Structure 1
Amino acid sequence: MISQNELLKLIPQALNETNLPLAGKQSGKVRDWYDLQNGQRLIVTTDRLSAFDRILARVPYKGQVLNQLSAWWFEQTKDIIPNHLISIPDPNAAIVQKVNPIQVEVIVRGYITGVTSTALWHRYSLGERNIYGYDFPEGLKKNQKLPEPIITPTTKGGETGHDERLTCAEVVEKKILDEATWNQVQTAALAIFNRGQELAAKAELILVDTKYEFGLTDDGQVMLIDEVHTPDSSRFWKSNGYQKLFNEGKEPENFDKEFIRIAYADKGYRGDGEIPSMPNDLWTSASRRYIAIYEMLTRKTFKPGSYPIEERLLKNIKEAGI
């Protein structure tokens, strides 16, 4: 167990960005990547934490957890569909096969919940009964389990710059993907989600919903890419007590990064205006939660990598021949 004092000391050293001696650096919200030779890519997962489409903080060990947890999930699901992972040269880095990302975010939902504009419960609470092309009956309650998981795709930052809702039929109608490829993606997504729910249940967690990303190789093979079933890409609830809380009309106990969004929302912040400052205790709590999720799901003891990260990273990628 990493102590509170140790985590507090590491906050200033948490990895914000990389500046490796490699050409063509690109960055997303949480990851930096560098294209390598032979159709490969180096992806470094930083300690940046984003919510409301804003970078809010740096959280010690967050990048390591996301990187190593995704690698674990890639291993658990490789019998369902190939993935882009080649190797893990460093706790925060992955070497992957470079593919062409499919321009659809594949959201799989097992429960009707959520308050964002694209969330099922939000649309249902507005009176909509046909959502994402699915017909929903009257009388559903927030956080209720769906009879079967469903896929609710979105574009990746459409004309508005924000993800836009799609129906499964529209993915083909709008010629984003051909029907055969989209069917393959949907079948894989539901199977991965089912595997995720099974393994989460063993950890006394409920995998509520998640986001998958897929890519195509040059010869048209579909691959699972990005991250899988992490606290960043997924919603988890604690299974113990869920049914009792649901029956009482209370919120389930979340076990992902939702508590950070709630902390900001309690201060009136939802992504607009100046970002309020938060006590360091929030970030140490986040670090402990990410580590706990890793250990619960993988049943492995988390082995913290050394800080500062970039010094270690440079050594490890050099040893990997990069």
Structure 2
Amino acid sequence: MPKRFSTKTLTIVEEPSRTRSGVGIFEYTDDYSVFHYGKMPDRIPGKGEAIARMVAFNAELLKEAGVPTHFRRFHPPNHIEVELVRVLDPAVAPIAAAERNYLVPLQVIFRNELPAGNSLRRRLAAGTVSLSDLGLDSVPAEDARFDPPLIEFTTKLEEIDRFVTTDEACRIAALDERRLARVQELTQSVDRVITAHARAVGLEHADGKVEYGIDGDGDVMLVDQAGTPDENRLTLRGLPIGKQVMRDFYLARGLEAQVQQWAAEGVPRSRWAVPEPLSVGFVAPVADMYRSLCEAWTGTRIWGAPPLDDVMATVGLLNTGSVNW
């Protein structure tokens, strides 16, 4: 039976084992999720296909750059075939150092810049992370760029992801010094590839997240996806492109704080209130945004979407008051 995630469905064709990878097919849907809520009320027409096409395109870019991934092939319009690894939950039992074919239960966050309002700036101000944790001597200026990027880790399999130190990340995921170095190396490579391509199509790449698995030989490989507007903060002349637009909508309505409160109080997800839908007139421009971005990113005309500049001008109006945020 297919496994349902917030924005995609996984069909397992062949189960993975400790010694052999499996095969799965992800179907990318038109759903989206913000603030770890899960599936949101609205669907964004064309989003699933746009993301799937970008995933396939980026997999080839990363392959050319020498980044190993679990990507196998693209099944148009919105299915991606991948190698599967096992999911071992460290909350159930510690992951042994000798394990193979497993999902690294971490998200790796990388940042090329720290603009005003960035969550890391808020955590620095609150004292929940220190400059030394990040390898910094002082708080960076808002226009500072990092090369290589700043790298942080969060949990992956917990109810709400939380930031962890590098030492805790290694303990949770059974990463020795060699594997940690490889994770950091591959993250820098992914960042370089996505940043370079973003600039080539007129965009800026601020930050993103990636996930990894350990293959049958004990080596690190990229899993899930990279370089899409669901994982990466892409902007056009300062305007956010992708999920950030919906994040901003619901941030103004207090959803992030509410989700954190429900999780802290142990309220089961089945009892979380359903958020209000997006405002009237919001969905169509956002759908155009995903389609236009995909066509600009891949250089392939699929829908004949409006130029990204025109679309983002409309989305920018949503962000500045034409819609009641």
Q: TM-score, normalised by structure 1?
A: 0.75
> Which letter maps to 1:41?
G
From 47, 53, 67, the counterpart of 1:62:
47
- Matching of residue 108 in structure 1 with residue 106 in structure 2: no
Gap regions ≥5 residues in structure 1 = 1-23, 241-251, 305-322
Kept in 1, the 8 Å contact 2:211–2:222? The answer is yes
- TM-superposition CA deviations, 1:269-295 (whole Å, max 9, x none): 436344123234211121111112212
- Matching of residue 77 in structure 1 with residue 59 in structure 2: no
Residue 29 of structure 1 aligns with which residue? Answer: 6
Kept in 1, the 8 Å contact 2:104–2:173? The answer is no
Shift of the 113–123 alpha-carbon distance from structure 1 to 2, 3 Å rule, reads farther
Residue 248 of structure 1 aligns with which residue? Answer: none
Gap regions ≥5 residues in structure 2 = 16-21, 86-101, 259-272, 305-325
Kept in 1, the 8 Å contact 2:105–2:157? The answer is no
- Matching of residue 234 in structure 1 with residue 232 in structure 2: yes
Residue 121 of structure 2 aligns with which residue? Answer: 121
Residue 315 of structure 1 aligns with which residue? Answer: none
Alpha-carbon distance in 1 for matches of 2:132, 2:107: 13
After TM superposition, the structure 1 = structure 2 runs for residues 274-285 of structure 1, keeping only pairs within 5 Å, are 274-285=274-285
Alpha-carbon distance in 2 for matches of 1:127, 1:271: 19
Alpha-carbon distance in 1 for matches of 2:190, 2:251: 32
Alpha-carbon distance in 2 for matches of 1:28, 1:277: 20
**Residue aligned with 1:133, SS:** helix
Residue 299 of structure 2 aligns with which residue? Answer: 299
Alpha-carbon distance in 2 for matches of 1:86, 1:280: 39
From 161, 165, 190, the counterpart of 1:192:
190
1:52 Cα offset (Å): 1.9
- TM-superposition CA deviations, 1:210-249 (whole Å, max 9, x none): 11111122232322111111111111122x4xxxxxxxxx
Kept in 1, the 8 Å contact 2:25–2:80? The answer is yes
Alpha-carbon distance in 1 for matches of 2:139, 2:25: 48
**Residue aligned with 1:163, SS:** coil
Q: TM-score, normalised by structure 2?
A: 0.74
Shift of the 97–284 alpha-carbon distance from structure 1 to 2, 3 Å rule, reads same
Alpha-carbon distance in 2 for matches of 1:104, 1:166: 9
**Residue aligned with 2:191, SS:** helix
**Residue aligned with 1:130, SS:** coil
1:173 Cα offset (Å): 4.6
Kept in 2, the 8 Å contact 1:104–1:155? The answer is yes
- TM-superposition CA deviations, 1:47-104 (whole Å, max 9, x none): 1111122222211110111111011001001132221121222311111111221111
Kept in 2, the 8 Å contact 1:84–1:224? The answer is yes
